[in-house]
Structure 1
C-alpha cells in the first residue's frame, strides 16, 4: 500500500544556541537549522506494529495493535505518525502482520488527502517470497524481511520506531544528536526510577554517553547498580530516576543496519542492539519527557487517564498543535441533562446520562437516561446509527472499565468489578489488572452484572 503525501517545503528551525530540549548531557550545537545537518529524504522511518498484541487482548482481537483507539478519537498509530510528520520525516514504512485491515483503512482515510507524489507511507504486511516463506519472527526479522522495500530510495539513515508508545518527540533533535556524536547507531533512553527497571532494558553509558552495556529486564536491582547515571557529571537525571532504559527507538546508519541484520537474530532489544554496541559506536540520547509503552491493558488505561487529566501526551496540544487523525466531519455532541466532570467528550455523541466523571467518551457514543459513568473509557461507535437508540442503555453504572467500539450494554447493567477480580476471561468481557474490558461489538443483556 503506497500513499503519496505532500512534502512541506518549509523545514523546522531551532533558535540559535538551543540544545536538544529533552536531552540532558553533552549538548549538540543546534545553532544552524536542523535541515542543514539532515535532509529528511535521507531518512527512512520504520514503524514496528506487527505483533499479535496479546497483552492488549481483547482490544486487539479484531484489529492490529497500532489501530487500537486512543483518547476518544485517535488511534495509537496517529501519535508516532504525528511525531514523524512534525519532524518533516515522511518516507515511512509500517510493518504489520495481524488483523491489518482496519489499520490500512485508517492510513488511507487519514493520510492520503495530501497526496502529491513527493513522499509516501507504506503499510507492509508479512509476505511470503521465494527467499522467505515465514511470518515475521520478531522485530529484527520484520525489518530484515522489509529491507528490499525500505532501501529502494537509498536512505542514508533508518529510524526504527514502535507503534504502541505514547510520547512527543521531534526526531530532528534525535538525528542532530546522532550526527553530533558521529555515531553508527543511536538509541533513545528515558530516565527511569528503580521500581520500573525490572520491566525494561537498562542501558549502561560512559561519560561521553556511549553505550557500553545492557541488561534486559533485571530481576535484581543489584545487577544494574553500576548502570546508575546520577553520578555522571554530564547528566542531570530527575530526582529519583537514576537509570536510563531503552525506549525502543533506534537510528542506524544504513550500512550499519545491513551489517547488524546479516544473521538470523530475531529481536532488536534482546540481541541485535547489545551485539551491535560491542562492535560499533552506539550513542545514547537521554529523554526526560513523558513516555509510556501501552503494551498492556493497565498501561493503556493509565495513558488514557493521563491524557484526560491534561498530563502526559496532552503536551502535544501546546501552542495549538494537535494529533493528526481521520477528519470525520461529525456534528457537535448533544448533551441533555448530563453532569460532566473532569472528562473528555468527542464529536457526534448523544448523551442523556446522569453523571460522567473522570472518563473519556469516544466518537458517536450514545448513552441513555440515568446512567452513571466514572473512571472509564468508552470508545464510541463506527456508525451514525446503531442497532438501538442508545448503545449504553438507561440506568447503567459503569466504573473503571474500557468499552470497545460498537458494544451494546443493556438497560440497568452494572459494570464495576465490585468483587475486585484481578484477571478473568469470558465471551462477553475480560478483566485485566482489575479493569473490565468489554470487547468490540459485544452485547450485554439488560441487567447484566460484572
Structure 2
C-alpha cells in the first residue's frame, strides 16, 4: 500500500516587485490583479490545492494588507480536516529585524515546520503565471533521493542569459547553478536549449532545516534560496533538476502545455495578458480540469453591452458596462465602465476603472479605480504620454491606482 508523504508547502510572497511599479506602489507583487478575476498568487495556490496539498504557509512582508485580505477572504479551507492556507508575516522571532532574504524568511518561520513535522517541503514563488501539478515533482524528488529538486524550464540558449541556469548531467543531477551566465550550458539532449530555474523547489525537510541553519551563520551569505541555499546542495552533489516539460496537467492543450511566465516587469505583465485573449490562447484560463481558483464574484451582475457597445477579442469580467463604446484586444476586470464613444484597445483595465466619453486608451495598463475623464487620449503620442505617465520600455502606458486623468 502506497504511503502518502507528509508535505508542507511554503509560498514565498514577500517580494517588493520594484520592476512592476506603479502597480506595486500600494500592494505586494503577488497581490497584483491579473487576468480579469485573479491575483498573481492565485496561480501557485491553485496548483498546490489542485494537487491535493492543503497545508500551505504564505510568507509575506512588503505591503501585505491586500494580499492577506485576499487569502483570508478567498482561500478558506477546512480547518477541521487539518487544511489551511495562512499568511505568515515577518514575526521577528530571531531578533528585531525583518526578513533579509528568502532563505532567512523560511529560517525565521521554522516554528511552522516544527509544528507540522513534514517529510518534504515544497517552496514555490508567488508571482508567476503557469499551471503545474506539483505532486509529480514531489514524486520525482522522492525517487531521486536528492536533498533538493529544482524545477527547470526549457528555454532557448540565447534567452537563458536572463535567468538562473541549471547545468545537469544525463541523470538529472545538477552539476552547476549559474546566475545569468554569458554562455549558458545546454540541456543534455538539446544543444540549443538550457534549463532555466523556475524558482520552484522540493526539499527533504531535514536537509532544508540543516542548510538554513548553516547559511544563517555565514556572514557572507545573502540568505537567498536561489543564490545561496541551492548552490550549497549543488556543491554537495545533492541537487537534481525536474524537467517542467515532463509535467502533465489535466485539460492542457499542445498550445498551452509548458506555459510559464515571469511577470516581474510591466512589459512581461502586459504580454502575459495578451497571451490570454486569442481564439486559441497561449494560456487557457478556461481549463476547468485544472481550474485557477479565486474569490467568488457571484454577487456581481453579468457584463452588459448597451447602445451598440462592443467588445472584440477581449475578456470582459462581471459587472462591466460598455455603453456605446468599443473594446478590442483587451482584458477588463470587474466593474469597469466604458462610456459612450470611448475606445479601449490593447489594454489591461483593473477593477473599477472608468473610461469617460470619447476617451481613447491604447496599449495601457490602468490600475484599480482609476478614472479616465472625458476626451482623454492615452497611448497614441508616446512623447506626450511620457510627460504624464510612467511608460515601459515596450511602450506600455501605466496609469496608477485611484488616479484621475
Match for 1:432 among 389, 392, 398? 392
Q: Which of 79, 89, 96 matches 1:125?
A: 89
| C-alpha spacing 1:95/1:421, structure 2 compared with 1 (3 Å) | farther
1:90 Cα offset (Å): 1.0
Specify whether residues 87 and 321 from structure 1 end up closer, same or farther in structure 2 by C-alpha distance, changes over 3 A only: closer
Aligned-partner Cα distance in 1 for 2:139–2:104: 28
TM-score (norm 1): 0.81
Q: Deviations over 1:310-351 (max 9, x none)?
A: 43431x533554210100211111111122211000001111
Q: Gaps spanning 5+ residues in structure 1: where?
A: 1-31, 382-389, 445-450
Q: How far is 1:420 from its partner?
A: 6.0
SS state of the match for residue 135, structure 1?
Answer: coil
Structure 1 Cα separation of the partners of residues 368 and 109 of structure 2: 32
Deviation at 1:137, TM superposition (A): 1.0
Distance 1:154 1:49 in 2: 22
Q: Does residue 355 in structure 1 map to residue 319 in structure 2?
A: no
Q: How far apart are the structure 1 equivalents of 2:290 and 2:91?
A: 37
Structure 2 gaps, min length 5: 246-257
1:391 shift after superposition: 2.1
Among 346, 361, 385, the alignment partner of 1:398 is 361
Which residue does the alignment assign to 1:282?
239
The equivalences for 1:30-429 within 5 A come to 36=2, 38-39=4-5, 42-112=6-76, 114-129=78-93, 131-218=94-181, 220-221=182-183, 224=184, 227-229=185-187, 232=188, 235=189, 242-262=193-213, 263-264=215-216, 265=221, 266-288=223-245, 289-309=258-278, 310-314=280-284, 317-329=286-298, 330-336=300-306, 337-381=308-352, 391-419=354-382, 429=389
Q: Cα offset for 1:368?
A: 0.5
Query: What is the CA–CA distance in structure 1 between the aligned matches of 2:321 and 2:91, rounded to whole Å?
Result: 43
Alpha-carbon displacement from aligned partner over 1:205-263 (angstroms, at most 9, x marks no partner): 11101001121012x23xx3xx212xx3xx4x5xx951111100011101110121122
CA distance in 2, matches of 1:299, 1:150: 34
1:17-36 to structure 2, matched below 5 A, reads: 36=2
TM-score, normalised with respect to structure 2: 0.90
Could you tell me how far 1:417 is from its partner in structure 2?
4.7
Partner of 2:253: none
Structure 1 residue 364 displacement after superposition: 0.6
State the SS of the aligned residue for 2:165.
Answer: strand
1:264-293 alpha-carbon deviations (Å, 9 max, x no partner): 331111121112111142111011211111
Distance in 1 between the 2:71 and 2:160 partners? 34
Q: Is the CA contact 2:149–2:202 (under 8 Å) kept in the aligned structure 1?
A: yes
Q: Is the 8 A contact 2:151 2:243 kept in 1?
A: yes
Question: In structure 2, how many angstroms separate the alpha carbons of the residues matched to 1:399 and 1:311?
Answer: 21
